[in-house]
């Protein structure tokens, strides 16, 4: 569980987490769309 004892994240880590998040956000819709199309075409949701 995340509580008050969350380890402090340095600025450098925050930057790389932010960059990773943006990359995921950019690529996620295509992945989800591709998976959805694959699932619908194979007949199982």
For position 17, what pLDDT does the model report? Answer: 78
Res 2: pLDDT:
60
Q: Are 39 and 45 in contact (CB under 8 A)?
A: yes
10: which DSSP letter?
-
Q: Tokens in use for 9?
A: 């994240």
Does residue 1 register a pLDDT over 60?
A: no
Residue 41 has pLDDT above 80, yes or no: yes
Supply the Cα-derived Rg of the chain in whole angstroms: 17
pTM for this one? 0.32
Q: Decide if 9 contacts 15 (C-beta within 8 A).
A: no
Please give the Cα distance from 42 to 30 (Å, whole number).
Answer: 18
In this predicted model, what pLDDT tens digit does every residue of 5-40 receive, in sequence order? Answer: 666 767 788 878 778 777 777 777 788 888 888 888
pLDDT of residue 42: 78
Domain-by-domain residue ranges, the chain? 12-45
């Amino acid at each position: 569980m995340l509580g008050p004892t969350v380890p402090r994240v340095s600025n450098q880590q925050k930057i790389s987490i932010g960059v990773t998040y943006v990359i995921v956000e950019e690529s996620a819709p295509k992945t989800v769309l591709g998976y959805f199309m694959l699932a619908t075409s194979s007949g199982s949701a």
